[in-house]
């Protein structure tokens, strides 16, 4: 958007469109250099708003002609708008012809080519790069799309809805015509044309309707689509069972593309996926990839109702569809996990991701509420806050009204709003109205502060036991830190799921003062609702001093300070019936020690009590291997940094590394035992049981190789190398390879060379090869030097987002110790790459720019060097809106 001026868009300025577009007929003559687009629309004035000219959005287009009711009309072009002053009062037909240049479209927004095929990405504002339109989500039209292209090069021609006509044309061209009966906003439009093949599956759903499911990929990738297809079928079944939401299309298509800015896109009936979120085989994808694919396939499918049938009125409401759909895909993954322990593992992983990505976002320059108030570039707001915190907000509705109450609320939401473009308020109202008198409905206005207030609330909890009265008084206090533009915050509604444990681990009954004997007398878990700045809750008939287990299952997205010491945390780690809080205790034990070392500047020395507790977890006869792997993993450096007011990334890293080395050496025999006893011998399956064992085996191997490398012993590195060579699946292979690379073992280089040679034809695996080296544990600047070297590798390119992310983002986002260098070379590299990427793909550049979000919290010399690098980027004329908004906010 370089020609125009950047304007700040405000939520408060929303006005309904002056015109509606009811139907649109699009004809494409597809050509990579110059594609002709002919559009014929039926328009109608919106009687509810004052008259005004017709203003259509259009970017990077070449306009050929404009007709109204078949006659040419005068028009103006201003910036990115096509303005027609004289339009009829009654309904009219608008015809527009324009061209665009798909092969020059490196931004991958609008219509572009990838691997010789055509693809589109229209969310949020890509449709205006295809043709002139009212490119806003509250304008919903019925689309008919005709595609014409060379038949040999583009045998497959797809768009939304149902195929209504095919024909062979002259000059080796052919035609396909699609009709989508559902009115939709332009951001859900899609087309695909290319040489693709499909895996197909016919299914009959509960209502007795038949559907065709298709997964389209390039020749040769077909055998990697089985998992995606299975995930899609499971998603269809789940949504019908859990929310009574059926598949509403005869044909549902999913397409993979290797150049894509994000994970995937929910275009109506024609989801388009980054191949990294779609393709998997045991030989090329890890357990984590299988898991991610299942959840993204589900996510996009679930959007068919939450996003497509009911969409957003404007982009400020993005979390209406994204937060809700993330919540739905998280619930789906938990339900697929089957066992209680595997469910808990899902929840732990989701919370870990939230804390590593969203909490730092909420504490930095880009902090914004779940429903933001303003933006310059909407693409910058597809964030962890809108998605993951948004999902936590939806989860809190469910916690407050119960699972059945939430299902009722969803039903009411669709009853009221099917076919409409609505707001987060409409959603809140539906859930509340379906649950009159509930803990939500009685506090709805206060609850909605979750949408308007940015920042992660701090929850302080202190208990006082009165042995004589046998009461336990729990005092809860909340504060939310100031964020840019929001100095003062009001109390939020925080559901606190809790239990009380006796010191021997027994769960105690939870009766509050004033309740009669029957109610609550036997409950051992309940939800308290904090809606004031401070509130006390008095539990009665408490026979001994309890250990409170608060915020079970992470019942609210807050930072909890419960003041518990080691002794209490050990009670929770050993006995809590809530697996999430057991894990949380393991993390708190580690975090307290790491933060202690960082704050005092003393070298970290792990004490026997902690090491024994970890040994007990590792050796535990009943705990799940997947759970053990998570509990024994140290907290993310990003999460640790977020707890500090002033961050020295090298000090954080040194403490984590020291903890890791000591865990590796003190538990050496236990790691060897875990490694030997958790081997998977059955054929590969990505299920939770097998993947849990592999996770523990890989963690154990990493510890064993680390310890051996430090002590100069060659046995474990040798075993890791052998395992790397003999592996029959990618999870084992990557596990062994990363153990070698992260320990900087001597065998690492030859393993890396071998890996590259073996997988040189597999782009997604080569991405892993780059990513592993970009994330490799830093020592003596070797990782940073290697990344700079790899930038010149013949396989490296900035043009493919996956490849750019695999190397550059791995370093800048996931490898703080390699990135934050006292000589500022990391920041210089960052600025260079942001500018280089911005010339190619602003969305990807904008994402990389965000690495500096929390630069003001850095200690010197990092802080000054970071400011200088950001200022250098900001000084560049001609920046995209994406990058400019990020760096300007950072410097504000």
- Annotated catalytic residues are 300
- Pick between residue 594 and residue 844 the one whose CB is nearest to ligand ARG: 844
- Pick between residue 111 and residue 614 the one whose CB is nearest to ligand ARG: 111
Alpha helices in 440-533 (DSSP H): 444-447, 449-452
Q: Restricting to residues 306-365, which ones interact with ligand ARG according to CB under 6 A?
A: 322
Query: Which region holds residue 778: left if phi is over 0, alpha if psi is between -120 and 50, else beta?
Result: beta
- Contact between 123 and ligand ARG by CB under 6 A: the answer reads yes
Residue 569 interacts with which of ligand ARG, Zn ion, none, CB < 5 to 8 Å by class? none
In the list 124, 191, 508, 640, the residue contacting ligand ARG (rule: CB under 6 A) is 124
- Pick between residue 274 and residue 429 the one whose CB is nearest to ligand ARG: 274
Query: Which region holds residue 514: left if phi is over 0, alpha if psi is between -120 and 50, else beta?
Result: left
Q: Do the Cβ atoms of 855 and 861 come closer than 8 Å? A: no
- How many whole angstroms separate alpha carbon 51 and alpha carbon 56? 15
- Contact between 257 and ligand ARG by CB under 6 A: the answer reads no
- Pick between residue 265 and residue 569 the one whose CB is nearest to ligand ARG: 265
Gyration radius from the chain CA atoms: 28
- Contact between 266 and ligand ARG by CB under 6 A: the answer reads yes
- How many whole angstroms separate alpha carbon 239 and alpha carbon 50? 42
Residue 636 interacts with which of ligand ARG, Zn ion, none, CB < 5 to 8 Å by class? none
- Pick between residue 325 and residue 729 the one whose CB is nearest to Zn ion: 325
In the list 68, 82, 265, 551, the residue contacting ligand ARG (rule: CB under 6 A) is 265
Instruction: Provide, rounded to whole angstroms, the least separation between the CB of residue 264 and ligand ARG.
Output: 5
- Contact between 262 and ligand ARG by CB under 6 A: the answer reads yes
Residue 124 interacts with which of ligand ARG, Zn ion, none, CB < 5 to 8 Å by class? ligand ARG
Burial class for 548, CB neighbours closer than 10 Å (0-12, 13-18, 19+): buried
Instruction: Provide, rounded to whole angstroms, the least separation between the CB of residue 262 and Zn ion.
Output: 9
Applying CB under 6 A, the span of 260-268, 396-404, 442-450, 613-621 interacting with ligand ARG comes to 260-268
Q: Do the Cβ atoms of 131 and 122 come closer than 8 Å? A: no
Residue 232 interacts with which of ligand ARG, Zn ion, none, CB < 5 to 8 Å by class? none
User: What are phi and psi for residue 213, nearest 5 degrees?
Assistant: -105, 135
- Pick between residue 329 and residue 732 the one whose CB is nearest to ligand ARG: 329
Residue 451 interacts with which of Zn ion, ligand ARG, none, CB < 5 to 8 Å by class? none
- How many whole angstroms separate alpha carbon 161 and alpha carbon 145? 10
- Pick between residue 54 and residue 393 the one whose CB is nearest to Zn ion: 393
- Tokens 């009766």 — which residue? 511
Close Cβ partners of 468 (under 8 Å, ≥ 6 residues apart): none
Judged by CB under 5 A, the number of residues near Zn ion is: 2
Residue 264 interacts with which of ligand ARG, Zn ion, none, CB < 5 to 8 Å by class? ligand ARG
- Pick between residue 294 and residue 778 the one whose CB is nearest to Zn ion: 294
Identify the CA nearest to 222 among candidates 193, 269, 255.
255
Residue 59 interacts with which of Zn ion, ligand ARG, none, CB < 5 to 8 Å by class? none
SS3 content of the chain, % helix, strand, coil (to 5): 45, 20, 35
- Pick between residue 303 and residue 588 the one whose CB is nearest to ligand ARG: 303
Instruction: Provide, rounded to whole angstroms, the least separation between the CB of residue 306 and ligand ARG.
Output: 11
User: What are phi and psi for residue 367, nearest 5 degrees?
Assistant: -55, 130
- Pick between residue 262 and residue 852 the one whose CB is nearest to ligand ARG: 262
- Pick between residue 325 and residue 691 the one whose CB is nearest to Zn ion: 325
User: What are phi and psi for residue 825, nearest 5 degrees?
Assistant: -60, -30
- Contact between 382 and ligand ARG by CB under 6 A: the answer reads yes
Instruction: Provide, rounded to whole angstroms, the least separation between the CB of residue 567 and ligand ARG.
Output: 44
- Pick between residue 325 and residue 549 the one whose CB is nearest to Zn ion: 325
Instruction: Provide, rounded to whole angstroms, the least separation between the CB of residue 300 and ligand ARG.
Output: 6
In the list 25, 300, 329, 642, the residue contacting ligand ARG (rule: CB under 6 A) is 300
Residue 265 interacts with which of Zn ion, ligand ARG, none, CB < 5 to 8 Å by class? ligand ARG
- How many whole angstroms separate alpha carbon 887 and alpha carbon 892? 9
**Interface pattern 805-844 for Zn ion (x via CB under 5 A):** ----------------------------------------
- Contact between 264 and ligand ARG by CB under 6 A: the answer reads yes
- How many whole angstroms separate alpha carbon 736 and alpha carbon 719? 9
Sign of the CA dihedral with 519 first, then 521, 524, and 528 last: positive
- How many whole angstroms separate alpha carbon 869 and alpha carbon 587? 34
**In the Cβ-directed half-sphere of 505, how many Cα atoms lie within 13 Å?**
10
Query: 490 preceded by cis ω (within 30°)?
Result: no
Residue 123 interacts with which of Zn ion, ligand ARG, none, CB < 5 to 8 Å by class? ligand ARG
Q: Do the Cβ atoms of 844 and 885 come closer than 8 Å? A: no
- Pick between residue 123 and residue 362 the one whose CB is nearest to ligand ARG: 123
Close Cβ partners of 297 (under 8 Å, ≥ 6 residues apart): 228, 231, 232, 235, 254, 264, 273, 277, 278
DSSP letters for 53-83: -EEEE--S-EEEEEEETTEE---EEETTEEE
Q: Do the Cβ atoms of 707 and 665 come closer than 8 Å? A: yes
Instruction: Provide, rounded to whole angstroms, the least separation between the CB of residue 858 and Zn ion.
Output: 32
Judged by CB under 6 A, the number of residues near ligand ARG is: 11
Residue 239 interacts with which of Zn ion, ligand ARG, none, CB < 5 to 8 Å by class? none
Nearest position to ligand ARG, beta carbon: 382
Applying CB under 6 A, the span of 243-251, 257-265, 620-628, 688-696 interacting with ligand ARG comes to 257-265
- Contact between 379 and ligand ARG by CB under 6 A: the answer reads yes
Instruction: Provide, rounded to whole angstroms, the least separation between the CB of residue 265 and Zn ion.
Output: 8
Applying CB under 6 A, the span of 264-272, 467-475, 633-641, 731-739 interacting with ligand ARG comes to 264-272
Applying CB under 6 A, the span of 191-199, 259-267, 349-357, 585-593 interacting with ligand ARG comes to 259-267
Query: 861 preceded by cis ω (within 30°)?
Result: yes
Close Cβ partners of 93 (under 8 Å, ≥ 6 residues apart): 40, 41, 42, 43, 67, 68, 69, 70
- How many whole angstroms separate alpha carbon 322 and alpha carbon 327? 8
Query: Which region holds residue 234: left if phi is over 0, alpha if psi is between -120 and 50, else beta?
Result: alpha
Identify the CA nearest to 292 among candidates 333, 321, 336, 337.
333
- How many whole angstroms separate alpha carbon 127 and alpha carbon 829? 34
Instruction: Provide, rounded to whole angstroms, the least separation between the CB of residue 321 and ligand ARG.
Output: 7
Instruction: Provide, rounded to whole angstroms, the least separation between the CB of residue 580 and Zn ion.
Output: 25
Q: Do the Cβ atoms of 271 and 255 come closer than 8 Å? A: yes
Residue 440 interacts with which of ligand ARG, Zn ion, none, CB < 5 to 8 Å by class? none
Instruction: Provide, rounded to whole angstroms, the least separation between the CB of residue 452 and Zn ion.
Output: 22
Residue 666 interacts with which of Zn ion, ligand ARG, none, CB < 5 to 8 Å by class? none
Tokens of 482: 């100031």
Applying CB under 6 A, the span of 238-246, 249-257, 263-271, 636-644 interacting with ligand ARG comes to 263-271
Q: Restricting to residues 310-369, which ones interact with Zn ion according to CB under 5 A?
A: 322, 325
Applying CB under 6 A, the span of 68-76, 262-270, 406-414, 632-640 interacting with ligand ARG comes to 262-270
Residues forming the site for ligand ARG (CB under 6 A) = 123-124, 262, 264-266, 299-300, 322, 379, 382
Q: Where along the sequence are the contacts to Zn ion (CB under 5 A)?
A: 322, 325
């Amino acid at each position: 958007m370089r020609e125009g001026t950047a304007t700040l868009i405000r939520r408060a300025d929303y006005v309904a469109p002056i015109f509606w577009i009811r139907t649109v007929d699009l004809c494409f003559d597809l050509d990579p250099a110059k594609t002709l687009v002919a559009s014929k629309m039926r328009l109608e004035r919106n009687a509810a708003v004052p008259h005004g000219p017709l203003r259509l959005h259009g970017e990077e287009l070449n306009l050929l002609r404009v007709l109204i009711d078949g006659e040419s009309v005068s028009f103006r072009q201003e910036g990115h708008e096509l303005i027609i002053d004289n339009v009829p009062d009654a309904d009219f037909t608008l015809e527009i012809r324009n061209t665009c240049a798909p092969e020059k479209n490196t931004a991958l927004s609008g219509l572009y080519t990838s691997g010789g095929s055509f693809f589109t990405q229209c969310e949020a504002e890509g449709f205006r790069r295809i043709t002139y339109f009212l490119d806003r989500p509250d304008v919903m039209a019925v689309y008919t799309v005709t595609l014409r292209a060379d038949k040999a090069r583009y045998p497959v021609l797809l768009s939304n809805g149902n195929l209504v006509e095919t024909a062979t044309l002259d000059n080796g061209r052919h035609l396909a015509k699609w009709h989508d009966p559902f009115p939709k906003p332009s951001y859900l439009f899609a087309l695909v044309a290319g040489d693709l093949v499909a895996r197909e599956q016919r299914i009959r759903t509960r209502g007795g309707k038949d559907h065709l499911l298709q997964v389209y990929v390039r020749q040769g990738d077909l055998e990697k689509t089985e998992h995606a297809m299975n995930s899609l079928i499971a998603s269809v079944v789940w949504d019908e069972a859990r929310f009574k939401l059926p598949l509403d299309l005869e044909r549902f298509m999913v397409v993979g593309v290797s150049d894509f800015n994000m994970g995937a896109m929910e275009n109506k009936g024609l989801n388009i996926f980054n191949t990294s979120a779609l393709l998997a085989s045991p030989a090329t994808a890890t357990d984590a990839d299988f898991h991610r694919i299942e959840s993204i396939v589900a996510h996009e499918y679930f959007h068919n109702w939450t996003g497509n049938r009911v969409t957003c009125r404007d982009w400020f409401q993005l979390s209406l569809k994204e937060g809700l759909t993330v919540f739905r895909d998280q619930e789906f993954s938990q339900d697929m996990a089957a066992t209680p322990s595997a469910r808990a593992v899902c929840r732990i992983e989701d919370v870990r991701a939230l804390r590593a990505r969203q909490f730092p976002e909420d504490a930095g320059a880009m902090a914004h509420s779940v429903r933001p108030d303003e933006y310059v570039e909407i693409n910058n707001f597809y964030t962890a806050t809108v998605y993951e915190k948004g999902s936590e907000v939806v989860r809190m509705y469910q916690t407050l009204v119960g699972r059945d109450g939430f299902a009722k609320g969803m039903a009411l939401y669709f009853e009221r709003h099917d076919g409409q473009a609505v707001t987060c308020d409409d959603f809140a109202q539906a859930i509340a109205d379906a649950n009159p008198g509930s803990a939500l409905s009685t506090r709805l206005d206060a609850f909605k502060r979750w949408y308007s207030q940015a920042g992660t609330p701090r929850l302080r909890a202190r208990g006082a036991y009165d042995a004589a009265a046998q009461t336990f008084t729990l005092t809860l206090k909340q504060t939310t830190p100031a964020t840019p533009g929001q100095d003062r915050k009001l109390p939020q509604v925080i559901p606190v799921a809790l239990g009380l444990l006796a010191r021997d681990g027994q769960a105690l009954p939870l009766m509050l003062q004033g309740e009669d004997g029957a109610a609550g007398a036997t409950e051992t878990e309940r939800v308290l609702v904090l809606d004031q700045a401070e509130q006390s809750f008095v539990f009665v008939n408490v026979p001994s001093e309890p250990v409170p287990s608060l915020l079970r299952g992470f019942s609210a997205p807050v930072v909890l300070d419960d003041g518990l010491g080691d002794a209490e945390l050990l009670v929770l780690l050993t006995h809590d019936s809530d697996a999430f809080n057991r894990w949380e205790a393991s993390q708190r034990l580690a975090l307290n020690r790491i933060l202690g070392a960082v704050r005092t500047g003393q070298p970290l020395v792990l004490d026997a009590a902690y090491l024994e507790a970890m040994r007990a977890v590792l050796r535990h006869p009943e705990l799940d291997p997947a759970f053990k792997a998570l509990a024994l993993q140290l907290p993310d450096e990003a999460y640790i940094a977020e707890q500090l007011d002033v961050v020295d990334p090298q000090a954080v890293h040194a403490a984590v590394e020291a903890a890791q080395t000591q865990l590796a050496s003190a538990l050496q025999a236990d790691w060897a035992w875990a490694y030997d006893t958790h081997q998977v011998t059955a054929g590969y399956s990505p299920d939770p049981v097998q993947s849990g064992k592999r996770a523990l085996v890989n963690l154990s191997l990493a510890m064993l190789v680390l310890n051996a490398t430090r002590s100069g012993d060659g046995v474990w590195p040798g075993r890791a190398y052998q395992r790397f060579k003999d592996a029959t699946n990618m999870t084992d292979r990557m596990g062994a390879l990363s153990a070698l690379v992260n320990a900087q073992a001597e065998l690492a280089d030859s393993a890396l060379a071998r890996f590259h040679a073996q997988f040189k034809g597999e782009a997604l695996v080569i991405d892993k090869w780059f990513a592993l080296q970009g994330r490799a544990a830093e020592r003596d600047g070797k990782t940073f030097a290697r990344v700079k070297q790899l930038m010149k590798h013949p396989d490296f390119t900035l043009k493919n987002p996956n490849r750019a992310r695999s190397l550059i983002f791995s370093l800048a986002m996931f490898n703080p110790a390699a990135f934050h260098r006292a000589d500022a070379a990391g920041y210089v590299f960052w600025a260079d790459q942001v500018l280089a990427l911005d010339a190619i793909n602003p969305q990807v550049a904008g994402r990389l720019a965000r690495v500096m979000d929390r630069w003001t919290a850095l200690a010197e010399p990092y802080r000054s060097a970071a400011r200088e690098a950001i200022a250098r980027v900001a000084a560049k004329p001609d920046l995209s809106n994406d990058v400019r908004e990020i760096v300007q906010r950072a410097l504000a």
